Structure 1
Amino acid sequence: MEFIYKEEDLSNIVKQLIEKSNSKTLAFYAPMGAGKTTLIKAFIKELGSKDNVSSPTFGLVNEYALENGELLAYHFDFYRLEDEVEAMDMGIDDYLTSDSWIFMEWPEKIPNLIPKDVQEITIEILDESTRRLKLS
């Protein structure tokens, strides 16, 4: 599945991605500034959370909940990791075995730890405001 989109199209695209995805674990592959966090923000909103979404670059993981307090998703940013041992030390296995949505930015930093059922999303920058997204 492939989309060419602008930011104002995200709500519609995310609805389709949620419908078509065969996993709640999503790995986002894209260069810096491509809109990974913006896309994840649209996912969180569409899934029903009102939480403020930001990149967890320094904390490595953010949690998002529904209004009733139920955990909705974990959002990882592995950009600053030096190696997979750091992910293991933070307890990545416990997160990945939860029933929550999992959003992973920079999953290429932990290639041996990514679950087999992951849904890959690749974002390519076409121009300043246009992106190509591929779901595989």
Structure 2
Amino acid sequence: MKSEKFEVKSIEDLKKIIDCIKNSGKNIIILSGTLGSGKTTLVKEFVKSLGIKQDATSPTFAIQNIYDNKVFHYDLYNKGISEFLALGLLEEFEKEGYHFIEWGEDLIPVLENYGFDYLIIKIKIDGNKRFYECQNL
């Protein structure tokens, strides 16, 4: 397992995390962090880095947002893993593009069971600083 840690003080600092994601060789990214830690902000900046004009927003109530058929953004906070699986969204991971999953930690055993590779981005807040850990498993 390769792990890189980054201190993020500004939006510009997210470029380091975006580069970690793009260089990981993985297209499924689990975003782990508390409410308001910056999960959606990271996706927003990632979408911009690809030159996509759509504004990324949290899919908390929709469960999935798709940006230019290149970035798939899921949020399991309200719906949970059961509804995610019941809706057949696991099959979405076979689509080319990047798949960001907020609150997806409980999905990890399912991903492993089906042989999907994934990356974990852990976000921790300490005062006005954020620390991102990019774990390439």
Q: For this structure pair, what is the TM-score category when the shorter chain's length is used for normalisation?
A: 0.7 to 0.9
The Cα shift of 1:96 comes to 1.2
Give the paired residue count. Answer: 129
- Contact 2:47-2:67 at 8 Å conserved across structures: yes
Say what the alpha-carbon RMSD is for the aligned residues: 1.7
SS at match of 2:30: strand
The aligned residue for residue 130 of structure 2 is 131
Cα separation, partners in 2 of 1:10 and 1:49, compared to 1, 3 Å:
farther
The aligned residue for residue 121 of structure 2 is 121
1:107 aligns with 2:104: yes
The aligned residue for residue 33 of structure 1 is 36
1:8 aligns with 2:3: no
The aligned residue for residue 65 of structure 2 is 62
The letter of the residue matching 2:34 is: P
Aligned partners of 2:12, 2:127: CA distance in 1, in Å? Answer: 15
Structure with the higher fraction of residues in helix conformation: 2
1:88 aligns with 2:85: yes
- After TM superposition, the score normalised by the length of structure 1 is 0.85
The Cα shift of 1:73 comes to 1.1
- Contact 1:11-1:46 at 8 Å conserved across structures: no
- Contact 1:28-1:122 at 8 Å conserved across structures: yes
The aligned residue for residue 24 of structure 1 is 27
Unmatched 5+ stretches in structure 1: 66-70
Match of 1:72 among 70, 73, 78: 70
Aligned-residue identity in percent: 28
The Cα shift of 1:6 comes to 1.6
Unmatched 5+ stretches in structure 2: none
Aligned partners of 1:15, 1:77: CA distance in 2, in Å? Answer: 19
